[in-house]
Amino acid sequence: MKIIVDAMGGDHAPLEIVKGALRAKKELGVELLLVGREEAIREILTQENAEMTGIEIVDAREVISMEDDPSTATRRKKDSSMAVALNLLRDERGDAVVSAGSTGALLTGATLTVKRIKGIRRAALAPVLPAGEHGVMLIDCGANVECTAEYLLQFGYMGSFYAKKLMGCENPRVGLLNVGTEDTKGGELQHQTFALLKQAHEEGRINFIGNVEGTGVFNGSADVIVTDGFTGNVLLKGTEGVIKYMMKALKGVFYSSTKNKLAALVLKKDLAAMKKSMDVNEVGGTALVGISKPVIKAHGSSNEASFFAAIRQAVAFVQSGIIDEIKENIDYMKLKTE
């Protein structure tokens, strides 16, 4: 399997990105197509004493920054590492693209270059949060993007396929994020989406469990949470902030006294396991579900470990067959407006 890597995307590019890719080559056995400024990439490969077998470099001189307009970035910067990487995926030079660059630019670029699966009107972001036995997928259309009930219904289907194929959920439970669990809660968007998801459930096509409020996201009551992009982004960033605060607070408690330090030694393995279960670096990134070929958005702050995890996710995505699953079920997923 060959992974196309946007080597210049992210806060710590290209060093941490290339190091993470090299780790994936060693541990996962993938081939690499590294896209970016060739001299910078080669310098890192030399520093790391990398074995060049299975590594190809494609020179791309431009870099898409967070200040670039996401809606036009890949079109205006055609020689950027992200744009070139997506072109290579479209041309079947590799099996998946992994980038830690701008989320908006990657989503727009993937939609325009690689294209959506026929019948899918909008690709969705699908981060997996640490909750329940398998984690919980939060699937939305991205921040600052207007959602409709029909889009969210389609996202519910795609999220259900993802949870079954990649998260090990036999019959994924799909919930609608809302301010309460009662059927009448929320605004017009939530009311319309609830009705469509309920109808799909009654037709036996999706396992819709109803509304899920914020406090229920992490108690394992649902495997897939459908929401609009703004709300989803607030929940995602809030979750990351709470996890960081909790880990910092726990560290402060265990280092506050000799007695607590001794307790920390006794609980060291359990604490390490808990930290790992809540570590965003263990997931690595977010799949763009609905794109016709695998594209993974790694965390913008990716270090070596996080980018390695994003490539691991890309490998699992390729092997899962989820794109074929969506294509096979597209007839009943199509929106009424088509």
- Give residue 283's pLDDT band: very low, low, confident or very high (50, 70, 90): low
Residue-averaged pLDDT of the chain = 90
Predicted pLDDT at 160: 94
Q: Given pLDDT bands bounded at 50, 70 and 90, which one contains residue 133?
A: low
Which of 65, 120, 34 has its CA nearest to residue 293? 120
- Continuous segment of H or E residues that includes residue 96: strand 96-99
Q: Is the pLDDT of residue 337 over 60?
A: no
| Residues 182-205: tens digit of each pLDDT | 999 999 999 999 999 999 999 999
Per-residue pLDDT tens over the stretch 53-67 = 999 999 999 999 988
Reported as a pLDDT band with limits 50, 70 and 90, residue 145 is low
Q: What is the pLDDT of residue 263?
A: 83
How many Cβ atoms from other residues are within 10 Å of residue 134's Cβ?
15
Residue type, 228: D
Going 113 to 6 to 120 to 183, the CA torsion angle's sign is negative
Contacts for 136 with CB less than 8 Å, ≥ 6 apart:
128, 129, 217, 218, 220, 222, 223, 224, 225
Which distant-in-sequence residues (6+ apart) come within 8 Å of 267 by Cβ? none
Give pTM, 2 decimals: 0.89
* Residue 242: C-alpha distances to residues 75, 248, 279 (Å): 37, 10, 12
Does pLDDT of 282 surpass 80? no
> How much of the chain exceeds pLDDT 90, in percent?
64
Structural contact between residues 151 and 141, judged by C-beta atoms closer than 8 angstroms: yes
Closest CA to 308 of 100, 95, 69: 100
pLDDT-based confidence at 235, cuts 50/70/90? confident
Query: What is the rounded average pLDDT of the residues 104-119?
Result: 95
Between the ranges 70-84, 116-130, 244-258, where is the mean pLDDT highest? 70-84
Q: For residue 338, is pLDDT > 60?
A: no
Q: What is the pLDDT of residue 245?
A: 87
Q: How far apart are CA 95 and CA 318, in angstroms?
A: 7
Helices (H) and strands (E) in the chain, counts: 14, 12
pLDDT at 241: 86
pLDDT confidence bin for 32, thresholds 50/70/90: very high
Q: How far apart are CA 83 and CA 266, in angstroms?
A: 50
Least confident of 122-136, 158-172, 184-198: 122-136
